Amino acid sequence: MKPQIFVTRRLPQGAMDLLEENFNVECNPNDRVLTREELLSSVKGKQGLLPLLTETVDGEVMDAAGKGLRIVANYAVGYNNIDLAAATARKIAVTNTPGVLTETTADLTMGLILSVARRIVEADTFARAGKYRNWAPLLLVGADIHNKTLGLFGFGRIGFAVARRAAGFDMRILYHDLKRAEAELEKQVNAEYVDKETLLKESDFVSVHVPLSPDTLHMIGPEELSSMKSTAFIINTSRGEVIDEDALVAALGAKKIAGAGLDVFEHEPKIHPALAKMDNVVILPHIGSASIETRTQMGLVAAKNMIAALRGDVPPNCLNPEIYV
């Protein structure tokens, strides 16, 4: 008999097909996030759970599944929605989908940099409203991107992919991370490792590419925002909680920084009402990885993790391989 799995939201068809070939798949029939009660009752008796970042998978959910649960295959590279320690304690594998969304997320990051600096969304709204009467020297003037300085917090896969793109715009690239990258990687994009203060002080664009953890929660707060240039922009395609959103609203309101490009929010899907009123903020509904190619690949990676774990192998993207020793 095929193992029973639960998928919390319908995935692109290619991924659903692969899952259905291998498992008895039960899937959330509705196009909405499950309630906590629905999640707790749906996991009962399943050997595999495939959640999204919209579900908190903690010990209670794992226990609701029962003793047979062997894998939580997250449909995301970030896994702050999963209690990894609780899974490890119960010998349940946890996997994510690294790699396949790197380039797509980096594309969107560049999109935010371009949009916010060149006022693309504002200009589109202006033109659609029938306000374009004459070309004018100061009509919707923004800031240049080329030859400017990009500061990257986090120089992992996505940070580096953004740096590669930025190098094509002749940007100077600074980065800060827990540890310095290999000289060869730095050389490829001409990136300079700097301390946090230098990055904040010298960058025209500060872009955040760190995972959410207790160490990165509110990593950008009032002090950091005050250290930035008043002409600088902040970009976030990682996790909303990395930036203290009240501090961001205050800094934007006081014109301590020039603008923000945000794909993620501290209380997602809620967006701070003040941000939504600011013309110098571009707001996207967490679409960093949202291309059909990438969302399909993410589903295939999650499915392959599930297949390996339920066959008794260590899944390729296992975050707690220690459960297998």
Residues forming the active site:
239, 268, 286
Which region among 4-12, 36-44, 74-82, 194-202 touches ligand DGY (by CB under 6 A)?
A: 74-82
CA distance 306 to 309: 5
Asked if 158 is part of the footprint of ligand DGY (rule: CB under 6 A), the reply reads no
Q: Which secondary-structure segment (H or E) carries 153?
A: strand 149-153
| CB of residue 30 to ligand DGY, shortest distance in Å | 20
| CB of residue 275 to ligand DGY, shortest distance in Å | 19
Asked if 207 is part of the footprint of ligand DGY (rule: CB under 6 A), the reply reads no
Q: Which residues, in sequence order, are CB contacts of 100 under 8 Å at separation 6+?
A: 294, 297, 298, 301
Q: Which of 25, 50, 57, 76 binds ligand DGY (CB under 6 A)?
A: 76
Which region among 36-44, 75-83, 87-95, 125-133 touches ligand DGY (by CB under 6 A)?
A: 75-83
And the tokens for 237?
């395609």
Of 88-127, which residues contact ligand DGY (CB under 6 A)?
Answer: 101
DSSP string, 68-83: T--EEE-SSS--TTB-
| CB of residue 204 to ligand DGY, shortest distance in Å | 25
The residue among 53 and 61 lying less far from ligand DGY, judged by its C-beta, is 53
Q: Please, is 88 exposed, middle or buried when counting C-beta atoms within 10 Å of its C-beta (0-12, 13-18, 19+)?
A: middle
CA distances from 202 to 115, 129, 176, 179, 197 (A): 21, 37, 12, 20, 9
With CB under 6 A as the rule, give the number of residues binding ligand DGY: 7
Asked if 48 is part of the footprint of ligand DGY (rule: CB under 6 A), the reply reads no
Q: Which of 288, 300, 310, 315 binds ligand DGY (CB under 6 A)?
A: 288
CA distance 156 to 105: 13
Asked if 242 is part of the footprint of ligand DGY (rule: CB under 6 A), the reply reads no
The residue among 63 and 107 lying less far from ligand DGY, judged by its C-beta, is 107
CA distance 239 to 263: 8
| CB of residue 107 to ligand DGY, shortest distance in Å | 13
The residue among 151 and 240 lying less far from ligand DGY, judged by its C-beta, is 240
Q: Which of 16, 17, 40, 78 binds ligand DGY (CB under 6 A)?
A: 78
The residue among 155 and 265 lying less far from ligand DGY, judged by its C-beta, is 265
The residue among 98 and 259 lying less far from ligand DGY, judged by its C-beta, is 98
CA distance 152 to 194: 10
Q: Which of 71, 77, 150, 252 binds ligand DGY (CB under 6 A)?
A: 77
Q: Please, is 126 exposed, middle or buried when counting C-beta atoms within 10 Å of its C-beta (0-12, 13-18, 19+)?
A: middle
3-state DSSP call for residue 266?
coil
Picking from 30, 7, 34, the residue whose alpha carbon sits closest to that of residue 20 is: 7
| CB of residue 78 to ligand DGY, shortest distance in Å | 3
Asked if 12 is part of the footprint of ligand DGY (rule: CB under 6 A), the reply reads no
Asked if 28 is part of the footprint of ligand DGY (rule: CB under 6 A), the reply reads no
| CB of residue 111 to ligand DGY, shortest distance in Å | 15
Q: Which of 109, 115, 289, 317 binds ligand DGY (CB under 6 A)?
A: 289
Question: 201: how many CB neighbours lie within 10 A of its CB?
Answer: 15
Q: Can you say whether residue 32 is alpha, beta or left, with left for phi > 0 and alpha for psi between -120 and 50 degrees? A: beta
CA distance 253 to 225: 12
Q: For binding to ligand DGY (CB under 6 A), which residues are involved? A: 53, 76-78, 101, 288-289
